[in-house]
Structure 1
Amino acid sequence: MTLLPKHLRQATRARTQEAEKRARTALAELAKAGKPISFTAVARQAGVSTDFLYRSPELRTQIERHRAKAGPVPAGPADPPGDSSTSAAVRALSARLTRQQEAHREEVAKLRQALAIAQGENLDLRRRLARYEAD
C-alpha cells in the first residue's frame, strides 16, 4: 500500500480539521438557538455528511449528549425537496440502481427467450440428423 505524499496528507488533515470546526460551530449554534439537535441537523448546518459526524468519536459523543439532554427529537419532514444531504444522494443512487436492475431483468428475459429458441432449433436439427443417419 502506497502512502500519500506529505502535502496531500497535510491537506487532508487541514480539510478534516476545518470540517470538525464547522461541525462544532453548528452544534453550538443549534444549541444556542434551542433547535432540536440531531446528526442530520448538525450535518446540514455545518455542510458535512452525517457519516463524517458518526465516524468522529468526539463529535458523535457531543451530539449524543445534546440529544440526550433535549429528549426525543420530534419527527419532522423526512427530507425536504432540493436537499443536498447524503440521503438525497443515496435516494438518487437507489433510483439509478433500480433502473439498471430493471434493464438487466429485461435483457436476461430476452436472452432466455433466445436461448430457448436456439435450444429448440438445436433439438430439431439433431432429430433430423438422426433420421438421415438411420438410413
Structure 2
Amino acid sequence: MTPMPEHLRRATRARTEEAEKRAHAALAELVKAGKSVSFTAVARQAGVSTDFLYRSPELRTRIERHRAKNGPVPAAPADPPVDPSTSAAVRALSARLTRQQEAHREDVARLRQALEAAHGENLDLRRRLARYEAD
C-alpha cells in the first residue's frame, strides 16, 4: 500500500478540523437554544455525518454528556381542556389516542437510543475488522 502524499494528509487534516469546528458550534447552538441534543441533530446542524461524530472521541463524549443531561424527550402536554358539548365517546377516544401517542413517542425515543448504541457498536466492529484486515 502506497503512503498518502503529505499535501493530501494536510488537506484531510484541515477538512477534519473544519468539520470538528462546525460540530462544536452546532452542539453549542443546540444547547444554547435549549433544543434536544442527539447525534442526528448535531450532524444535521453541522453538515457532518453521524459516523464522523461517533468516530471523534471528544465530540462523542460531549454529545453523550449533553444528551444524558436533557433526559428523555418531553412528552406532549396533558389532556386539553374538555368541552362539555363533546360526547363521552369522543372524549374517551381522544384520551385513548393521546395515551397511544405518548406510548409511541416513548417507543420511538427508546428505539432511537438503541439505534445510536447499535450504530456505535457497528462502527467499533468495522474499525476492528479494518485493523485485522490491514495486518
String of CA shifts for 1:20-78, please: whole Å, max 9, x gaps.
00000000000000000000000000000000000111000000000000002355xx8
TM-score relative to the length of structure 1: 0.54
Find the aligned partners of 2:6 and 2:38 in 1 and give their Cα distance: 35
| C-alpha displacement of 1:2 | 1.2
Q: Does 1:55 align with 2:55?
A: yes
Code of the residue aligned with 2:10 in structure 1: it is: Q
Task: Provide the secondary structure at the position in 2 that maps to 1:35.
Answer: coil
Point out the structure with max Rg over C-alpha. 1
Code of the residue aligned with 1:12 in structure 2: it is: T
**Aligned pairs for 1:85-96 within 5 A:** none
**Aligned pairs for 1:34-73 within 5 A:** 34-73=34-73
Code of the residue aligned with 1:66 in structure 2: it is: H
Find the aligned partners of 2:15 and 2:56 in 1 and give their Cα distance: 14
Alpha-carbon RMSD across the aligned residues, in angstroms, is: 1.7
Code of the residue aligned with 2:62 in structure 1: it is: Q
Highest relative contact order (Cα 8 Å, sep 6+), 1 or 2?
A: 2
Structure 1 unaligned residues grouped into runs of 5+: 79-135
Code of the residue aligned with 2:60 in structure 1: it is: R
Partner of 2:29: 29
TM-score relative to the length of structure 2: 0.54
Task: Provide the secondary structure at the position in 2 that maps to 1:22.
Answer: helix
Partner of 2:99: none
Structure 2 unaligned residues grouped into runs of 5+: 75-104, 109-135
Partner of 1:6: 6
Alignment length, in residue pairs? 77
Find the aligned partners of 1:73 and 1:16 in 2 and give their Cα distance: 31
Q: Percent identity?
A: 82
